[in-house]
Amino acid sequence: MKKCVVIYNPNSGKLTNRNDVKKIYKILENYGYDTEIIYTEYRGHAREITKKLKDVDLLLCAGGDGTLNEVISGNIERHKPILLGHLPLGSVNDVAHMYGMSSNTINNIAMLLNGTEKNIDVCLINDNPFVYVACMGAYVDISYATPRKLKEKYGKLAYVIYGIQQLKQNLQFYNVKYEVDGVKYENKFSFIFITNSNRVGGVNNIYDDVKLDDNKFEVLMCDIKNKMDIIKAVYYLKRREMNNIPGFTYFKTDKIKLEFEEIPPSWCIDGDELKHESKKFEIKINKDNYMLLPTKNIDKLFEKNIEDEENSNN
């Protein structure tokens, strides 16, 4: 039989009972996999487990977006990356929603095993991988600073509650020199968002045409000056294209270099904090990861659809 390992983060979500766990073993057995479930015990554990695995045909990440980040980070560090799949158990699950997955773990496994294998772009910020977003500015810490007890009690609403509490923060501007496609610029920004997703923070269709295999990512830099500008930006986002909003600077590229006048605060990458002591950042693409994905959104998310790839292999 083939070997499947499930890395399960019990802090991201709970498999409700023993029957759910038994169903996971059973469905994977039906598809020809001998399965082992490994529980994570601390932050960064999923990355360590992934790096050390041997003789594994399929690795399933059962957790939130941050757990998926850890698994992909460990996979990039392997000599031979493992085929991955994602089972969403977090609070927001932006990546899984983009892939077309549901809240039913057993159904998600079936969708993956009946899905297709795709090579996905993974972004790196100073060689730290992120799957769908790296951002910096006021309020971006909400995803990782919201107290766990609040999330356990209120779910997604916890982020809103904590966010309202943080509105007293003042917006800060950062002087940034940056280079995109060989052209150098300099400006002041209060927010920077680097994404490879059409969904961030539970908001769908932020960009019209995001592809996960085009060797590109989206860069959005904003000079929002006050809280009223945030409200205006949300209003414009629903009515205009991203590159036609006042105060927004937008690029689609495969590489960007940023240099800050002073060391900026932590970045938020895939919902977790990236601490650093640097003024300079380089963001680029890694192409080493292959994932099993449901067929539901393949045509929308990839440049080549399934039929094109099958034809090219014949």
Span 9-21, pLDDT tens digits: 988 766 655 667 8
Residue 94: band (very low, low, confident or very high) from pLDDT cuts 50, 70, 90? confident
Cβ 75 vs Cβ 68: under 8 Å? no
Domain limits, the chain: 2-114, 128-286
Mind listing the pLDDT tens digit for each residue in 12-45?
Answer: 766 655 667 888 999 999 999 999 999 999 999 9
Q: Does residue 313 surpass a pLDDT of 60?
A: no
CATH architecture of the domain 128-286 equals: Sandwich (2.60)
* d(C-alpha 134, C-alpha 248), whole Å: 17
Q: Does residue 158 surpass a pLDDT of 80?
A: no
Of 35-49, 135-149, 186-200, 258-272, which range is least confident? 135-149
Q: What is the mean pLDDT of residues 136-140?
A: 80
Distances (CA, A) of 53 to 1, 56, 91, 153: 17, 7, 27, 35
pLDDT number for residue 14? 63
pLDDT number for residue 247? 78
Look at the chain and count its residues. 314
Q: Does residue 311 surpass a pLDDT of 50?
A: no
> Residue 48: helix, strand or coil by DSSP?
helix
Distances (CA, A) of 100 to 16, 35, 117, 131, 298: 22, 24, 15, 16, 9
CATH architecture of the domain 2-114 equals: 3-Layer(aba) Sandwich (3.40)
Q: Percent of the chain, pLDDT > 90?
A: 58
Sign of the torsion formed by the C-alpha atoms of 139, 141, 145 and 150: positive
Q: Which of 197, 186, 5, 10 is nearest to 89 (CA)?
A: 10
pLDDT number for residue 280? 98
Mind listing the pLDDT tens digit for each residue in 290-302?
Answer: 999 999 989 999 9
* d(C-alpha 27, C-alpha 300), whole Å: 28
3-state secondary structure 180-238: ECCEEEEEEECEEEEECCCEECCEECCCCCCCCCCCCEEEEEECCCCHHHHHHHHHHHC
Helix axes 18-30, 105-113, angle to 10 degrees: 10
pLDDT number for residue 53? 97
pLDDT number for residue 310? 46
Tokens of 155: 């779910």
Residue 150: band (very low, low, confident or very high) from pLDDT cuts 50, 70, 90? low
Predicted TM-score (pTM) of the model is 0.84
Between 206 and 214, residue with greater pLDDT: 214
